[in-house]
Amino acid sequence: MLKENPPLLAEVTEKLKYTLCVSLSNMITNQQILIFKRSADTLYLAKDYTSATILYFKVLFAVQDWLLLEKRGESPKDHHERFRQLEKEFPALFRELDLEFSTYRDTYSKIIDKETCDRIKKMVENDLAKYQIK
């Protein structure tokens, strides 16, 4: 019976480097969240409510990913994974996102009005305050 050759150190090292790079690139910071928020606010002030809403959602997703990263040690790779993790770890945030996800999808094909943008903006600002992201 032949023994399987163990992986070469170089192969293990390459895999580790790749995994580490992917993990680090998925990490979100408070600074990034606040940069996204400032950009959304700039578009809001310019009355570009569709683009502002898209960025407010980006802030919302970043906050959620940051919370998941803090709690689980990893952030989701896509919306589906985010929904599943939020449902388990942060049910209130899951419900909040579930209620507004159709609005997010609308930003790809519709012009968003000020009232809708204000609703998403308020949700984001509430989450930033609740989780003390400054």
pLDDT value, residue 78: 93
| Whole-structure pTM value | 0.79
Say yes or no to pLDDT of 24 above 50.
no
| Contact residues for 129 (Cβ-Cβ < 8 A; gap 6+) | none
Q: Could you tell me the residue ranges of all domains in the chain?
A: 29-130
Q: Which fold has domain 29-130?
A: Four Helix Bundle (Hemerythrin (Met), subunit A) (1.20.120)
Residues found in the chain: 134
Average of per-residue pLDDT values in the chain: 87
**Residue 6 banded pLDDT, cuts 50, 70, 90:** low
List the single range of 10-19, 22-31, 124-133 with lowest mean pLDDT: 10-19
pLDDT value, residue 20: 43
pLDDT value, residue 122: 98
**Residue 28 banded pLDDT, cuts 50, 70, 90:** confident
- Amino acid at residue number 70: E
The rounded distance, in Å, linking the Cα atoms of 104 and 67 is 20
* Termini Cα distance of the chain: 62
Structure token pair of residue 48: 């570009």
